[in-house]
Amino acid sequence: MTMTTMISLQRRLALIAAATAALALTGCATSGSSQEALPPIVFVHGNGDTAALWQTTAWRFESNGWPRERLHAIDVPYPLNRDDDGKAQPGRTSAAEHMAYLKAEVDKVRQATGASKVVLIGNSRGGNAIRNYIQNGGGDQTVSHAILGGTPNHGVWAIPGFREGNEFAGTGPFLKGLNAPKNAAGDEVTGPVRWLTVRSDGNDKFAQPDGLWIGQKGTATNVTAAGPELKGATNVVLPRIDHRETSYSQAAFAAAYQFITGKAPAAAVIANEARVALSGKVTGLGVDPLDAKTGNFSNNLPLPGAQLEVYATDPATGARSGNALLRTTVAADGQWGPLVVPTGAPLEFAITAPGYATTHIYRSGFPRSSTIVHLRAERIADADKTAASVVSMTRPRGYLDPERDQMLFDGVPPVGVPAGAGAASAKIKPEGAAQRSVAAQFNGERVVGQTWPAASGHLVFLEFTY
C-alpha cells in the first residue's frame, strides 16, 4: 500500500460507491469539465480549524485535473465562534465577521482568476459562513455551487432557552434566519445557487440526539443525524464517516467532484509529483483567561520570530536523516518556504519560540506540493511538565474511533479514546530518559517519530495526513 492510499481500500470504495449512487439520482450537477471550464473553488474550514485541513482535498482535485491556481483555502485569523454571537469576545469572530472575511476572500479569488462565480466548499462552521454569505452578503450572485460537509444546519442543539445566542443553537436567531422558508415549497436554501450537503448516518459528534459531546450527557438535543440536511438541497449520506470526514475524506471529495462536474472523478488516489515544494505558515496560541483547563485557544495568527527547522527522517525509526533541509526565522507574516523535499519522504518539523515548547511535528511523506503546510507551536500543560516525554498522535482531518478504525500507538491500542468518533488525538508519556522511536498507526498510515525530553521543554506530535 502506498502512502497515498492510507485508509482501507474496502472502506474507501464503499464510501465512494455510496456517494456516487446518491448523486446519480440527482439532476443538479453541471456537465463538462474541460480545464477552461473548471471554476475556482474556495474552501472554508470549520470552527477552530485552519486552511491546512484542505490539503488532501486540494491534492485530490489536482489529481483529477483541477488547476492548482484555481483552488484556494481561506485561513480565518480568529476561527472560533463567540459563546454568544451578539456579545464581543476577544479572540473570536461573530457570524457577521466570519461572513465578511469569506466575502473578501471570494472577491480576491474572482479578481485573480477573472471568474464571475466560484464554488464554495465548507466544513462545519465554514458552512454557516457560506450560507450567510449567499443569503445575506450577495453570494447568490457570485457562487455557482455550495457544498456543506457536516454543517450543523439545524443546530448542534435545538433546546428552547439553552444558549440561544450561540451560532450553533438550532432555536437561536442566526440559524432560524438562515432556515426560514425561501419559497412556497419551504426550501431552506437560496437560489440560483446549487446546494449539496454531506452528512454521516450517525457518527457525527455534532449531529447527535444526546448532549454528550456538548457537556450535556443525558439531555436531548432535539437534533438527529439528519440535522445537516437542508430542504431544497441534494443531501448525501455516507455511512460511518465522522464530523470532519464529511469534508476531508476521499468519499466526500468524490461526492463534491461529481456534484460540480456531473461525473465521478477519474483518479481514485492522489497522484505523486516528481517535484514537491512545501510552504505554509507558523502560528501560535491565544491566551484565554476564561479557559480554566488550558488557558489557550486556537487562532491562525502568525508567530513571527519563531525558528523552524525541517528534517528528512528515517521511515523505520523517525531519526533525522542528515542535516536540516531548512533552517529559517519566521517573518512577520508567519510564512515559511518554499522548500523542495523528496517525494514521499517522511519529515520532522521543529518549531522553537519564546513562551512555547520546542514542538516536534512528524509527518508522513508528501506526495504533492502544498502552500498550506501550516504548523502550530504548542505549550506544555502543567500536568505534563514532570513527564519524561509527552507524545501525541493527532488526526486533523478526522476523528479516532476504536469501534471503526484500526489504531496502534507505541505498539498498543491508544488508551482513553472514546467510541463514537469523538476525539481527534491521543497522548502518551513514555518513560525513560533515552531517546527512542515511537510510532502511530491509523488504518494503514504509519507515522514514526522520536521521543524528546519534556523537562527540557519539548513536545512531540505524530500527525496523520489522511
Report pLDDT digits (tens) over 364-415: 999 999 999 999 999 999 999 999 999 999 999 999 999 999 999 999 999 9
Report pLDDT digits (tens) over 178-208: 999 999 999 999 999 999 999 999 999 999 9
Mean pLDDT of the chain: 92
Nearest to 185 by CA among 137, 225, 233, 134: 233
| Strand residues in 342-413 grouped as ranges (E) | 347-352, 358-363, 375-376, 391-394, 407-409
Tell me what pLDDT residue 156 has.
Answer: 98
Segment 422-434 mean pLDDT: 96
Tell me what pLDDT residue 291 has.
Answer: 53
Tell me what pLDDT residue 293 has.
Answer: 52
Q: Which residues lie closer than 8 Å to 13 by C-beta, 6 or more apart?
A: none
* Angle (CA) 149 280 398, round 5°: 30
Contact 46/204 with Cβ under 8 angstroms? no
Contact 282/339 with Cβ under 8 angstroms? no
The domains found in the chain, sorted by start residue, are: 9-261 (3.40.50.1820), 276-463 (2.60.40.1120)
Q: Which residues lie closer than 8 Å to 241 by C-beta, 6 or more apart?
A: 15, 200, 203, 204, 249, 251, 252
In the predicted structure, residue 295 carries a pLDDT above the cut 60? no
* Distance of alpha carbon 20 from alpha carbon 23, whole angstroms: 5
Confidence tier at 334 by pLDDT (50, 70, 90): very high
Tell me what pLDDT residue 266 has.
Answer: 97
Question: Could you tell me the pTM of the whole model?
Answer: 0.92
Confidence tier at 34 by pLDDT (50, 70, 90): low
Place of cell 505498539: 411
* Distance of alpha carbon 300 from alpha carbon 92, whole angstroms: 11
Q: How many helices (H) and strands (E) does the chain have?
A: 7, 22
Could you tell me the CA-to-CA distances from 22 to 149, 198, 199, 231 in Å, in that order?
15, 11, 12, 16
Place of cell 440559524: 175
**Residue type present at position 3:** M
Nearest to 262 by CA among 131, 144, 150: 144
In the predicted structure, residue 5 carries a pLDDT above the cut 90? no
